[in-house]
Amino acid sequence: MRLVQALQSGVLLGDGANGTGLSHRGFHEHPYDLANILAPELVLSVHEAYFEAGADFVETNTFWANSLRFAGQAVDVQELNIRGAQIARKAAGKERLVLGAMGPGGRALAPISNLTEELLMEALGEQAKALEEGGVDGFLLETYVDLEELKIAVKAVRAVSNLPIIASKAFIEDGEMLSSGFPALCADVLSELGVIAMGANCIVGPQRMLDIVREMSESATIPIMAMPAPGLPQIVKGEVVYDTAPDYFAKACARLADEGAQILGGCCGTEPEHIAKLSRELKSRPSKPATRISVKRESSTAAPMAVTEPSELKQKLGHKFVTAVEMDVPRGLNLDKFLAAVRQVKIAGADVINISDGARARLRMNPAAVSALIQNRVGIEVTMHFACRDRNILAIQADLLGWHALGIRNILCVTGDPTIIGDYPSATSVFDVDSVGLVRILSRYNDGMDLAGYSVGMKCNFTIACAYNPLAVDPETELDRLKRKVDAGATLVYTQPVFDIPVAEQAVELCKKLKIPVLVGILPLRNQRHCEFMHNEVPGVSIPERIRKAIADASSDEEALKIGIAEAQSLARAVRAGHGEGIYLMPPFGSAAIAQAVMEAANS
């Protein structure tokens, strides 16, 4: 255990960024881990430069090299890791140390994405075995934002290797995070994982890292590592650039040792010159015990987090038969007729208005703007649909906070239609998360935290709605997804449109078993074309033969519409009689008159 012995002799100095060194040597393939196979001589020269600068250890060029990151690519991940370890071992020789660098899986853990603990364990276990085979002295699990993922990573490595592990979390540049004592809380967790050292790396520069180390040192029972970035980056000609002077970096990082850090080094943007300056700075400073500054932490008796008032919709569920009406947002900016129709629907007795989010990938005004206008000008609550297609995980969380501040509290989580069917087929789809992951994000906000575990200042009170299709092509998968949404924190179900009373009754009974309220989807058919289109061209919609025949035999479109409305009215009465919590009405063309006719029957 040479790494453990080295930690007993004083401050241990690590390297800087492999990627920065490779980029400056002309290697621009991404990820930089590919250089282990494509340009091993460049990787070797980077490691050698860090050792010449005074580093006691280097990290293998394998931060990205797990099978999850390279899924679907023709890359031998095992070879990538073995070669990365062998190259670093060649540079280190027998006297100096090599740590196997292992980063996160690249996707959020389930239910935010489809990355399960089992998949992560398998991928990181494979990587750790390959790195050990290549000759590393231990492992550095670094740049983990999610503390839960870091705990799983330690478990995965320990399952396949007895080599020592250092666990490092990445903290954001956020004063509120520091004032809440979050680094100290993380230190409590990391100290219990059986690792030989723990700490922080990346994202923040040495000044903010100083505050993080101070807090972690209060709870640490094992050595602390600190490997900051040199400062804040900027984009120059499409490249991420750091321009922090090595002298400043060295002096600022040396102060980290005064606060208790025993392992030092650099992250993204640091180069051998930064490490060389830091090495000289550490040697020139007299050794002295750490003079730690106490950081005030919130006590366990602090006032409980404030909770937002629940929406009107949430308060109505279980106490009255709820009617939700979806209204189609027109193209462009003129919403006068649309708002007038919404006002008419409100007067007719609707409880909440549903506004879609780019349904069928069509360009419409941002649904949050429309929802805010409805709530402010018409005075009726909105359930806003939220599609995961158009926003990454950062924008999703930011938008949700903004909408909560605007008073939009009812969210229907949908994955979203692919852009290829819409107005801009070449537009990029994001899909960082799906509807299950979005439910989980909202649930975290209702607990007062974002995905990284940082407080948002109060417990939100979103009504978390999800979609369910009783007539899905694959009913087992659809039911499984519904159960996953409920487990993730969904509090309300909206069904796709149904046209048969037994189907509606089955949906109500299913949701009762899952202990979640349901609004049954009802879509009045307006004519034969509409009927045949819905039955034949819309996935997951099935219209009984008797209805299709009755509408086809109608003498006119007016007569067909009467049949469609009558069927919708009958279904609404049946849902109410069957003790469903309400209906989700989708009038064609957002017709307030059709919506009113169905609502009157439901409430009669």
Q: Is the pLDDT of residue 431 over 60?
A: yes
pLDDT tens for residues 367-395?
Answer: 999 999 999 999 999 999 999 999 999 99
Contacts of 139 (CB under 8 A, 6+ apart): 99, 100, 102, 128, 131, 157, 161, 163, 164, 165, 166
Dihedral angle computed from the Cα positions of residues 280, 281, 287 and 292, in that order, rounded to the nearest 10 degrees: -150
Tell me the β-bridge partners of 240: 235
Give the whole-angstrom CA distance, residue 1 versus residue 392: 42
Give tens-digit pLDDT for 508-551: 999 999 999 999 999 999 999 999 999 998 888 999 999 999 99
Instruction: Give the model confidence (pLDDT) of 483-498 as tens digits.
Output: 999 999 999 999 999 9
Interatomic CA distance for residues 191 and 219, integer angstroms: 8
Tens of pLDDT along 11-42?
999 999 999 999 999 999 999 999 999 999 99
Above pLDDT 90, what percent of the chain? 76
First-residue to last-residue Cα distance in the chain: 79
Q: Which amino acid is at 549?
A: K
- The answer to whether 131 and 62 have CB atoms below 8 angstroms apart is yes
Percent of the chain as helix, strand, coil, to the nearest 5: 45, 15, 40
Nearest Cα to Cα of residue 567 among 556, 554, 551: 551
Q: How do residues 262-304 score in pLDDT, each as one tens digit?
A: 999 999 999 999 999 999 999 987 655 443 333 444 444 455 7
Stronger pLDDT, 218 or 534, i.e. the higher one: 534
Whose tokens are 């008796």? That residue is 301
Q: Tokens in use for 72?
A: 């679907």
Please report the pLDDT score of residue 236 as a whole number. 55
Q: What is the pLDDT of residue 182?
A: 85
Confidence at residue 234, expressed as pLDDT on a 0 to 100 scale: 64
Residue 112 has pLDDT above 60, yes or no: yes
In terms of DSSP H, where are the helices of 135-238? 147-158, 175-179, 182-191, 206-219
Please give the domain boundaries of the chain with CATH numbers for all domains.
Answer: 2-284 (3.20.20.330), 312-524+581-591 (3.20.20.220)
Angle at which helices 528-537 and 557-577 cross, to 10° = 60
477/417 Cα distance (integer angstroms): 18
Alpha carbon distance 392, 400 (integer Å): 12
Which of 154, 159, 158 is CA-nearest to residue 189? Answer: 154
Cα 451–457–460 angle (5° rounding)? 70
Q: How far is CA 601 from the centre of its chain?
A: 43
**In 10 A of CB 9, how many CB atoms?**
8
Alpha helices in 234-360 (DSSP H): 246-258, 272-284, 312-316, 336-348
pLDDT in tens, 333-342: 999 999 999 9
pTM of the model: 0.78
Mode of pairing for the β-strands spanning 224-227 and 197-201: parallel
For residues 484 and 295, give the distance between their C-alpha atoms in angstroms, rounded to a whole number: 41
Q: What pLDDT score does 419 carry? A: 84
Per-residue pLDDT at 181: 78
* Preceding omega of 111 cis (within 30 degrees of 0): yes
**Which of these, 503, 489, 501, lies nearest to 459 by C-alpha position?**
489
Q: With left for phi above 0 and alpha for psi between -120 and 50, is residue 318 left, alpha or beta?
A: left
Residue 413 phi/psi, 5° resolution?
Answer: -85, 120
User: Taking the CA atoms of the chain, what radius of gyration do you get in angstroms?
Assistant: 29
Q: What single-letter amino acid sits at 580?
A: G
Mean pLDDT of the chain: 91
Write the DSSP string, 109-135. Answer: BTTTSSB-HHHHHHHHHHHHHHHHHHT
- Among all chains, which residue has been given the structure tokens 């280190």? 92
Q: CB count, 10 Å around CB of 58? A: 28
The structure tokens listed for 82 are 């073995």
Question: Is it true that the peptide bond before 330 is cis, omega within 30 degrees of 0?
Answer: no
Contacts by residues 373-380 (CB-CB < 8 Å, ≥ 24 positions apart): 373/335, 373/339, 374/339, 374/342, 375/407, 375/408, 377/339, 378/339, 378/342, 378/343, 378/346, 378/353, 379/346, 380/342, 380/346, 380/350, 380/351, 380/352, 380/353
In this predicted model, which residue has the larger pLDDT, 241 or 443? 443
Q: Burial, 198: exposed, middle or buried (Cβ in 10 Å; 0-12, 13-18, 19+)? A: buried
Neighbours of 403 (CB within 10 A): 19
pLDDT at residue 580 in the model? 87
Cβ pair 587, 338 in contact under 8 A: no
| Cα 302 from Cα 299, distance rounded (Å) | 5
The pLDDT confidence band at residue 122, using thresholds 50, 70 and 90, is: very high
Query: Could you give the CA distance from residue 33 to residue 106 in angstroms, rounded to a whole number?
Result: 14
pLDDT at 161: 97
Q: Is the pLDDT of residue 174 over 80?
A: no
Strands of the 97-102 sheet, one edge to the other:
12-13, 261-264, 224-227, 197-201, 165-169, 138-144, 97-102, 57-59
Could you give the percent of the chain with pLDDT greater than 70? 94
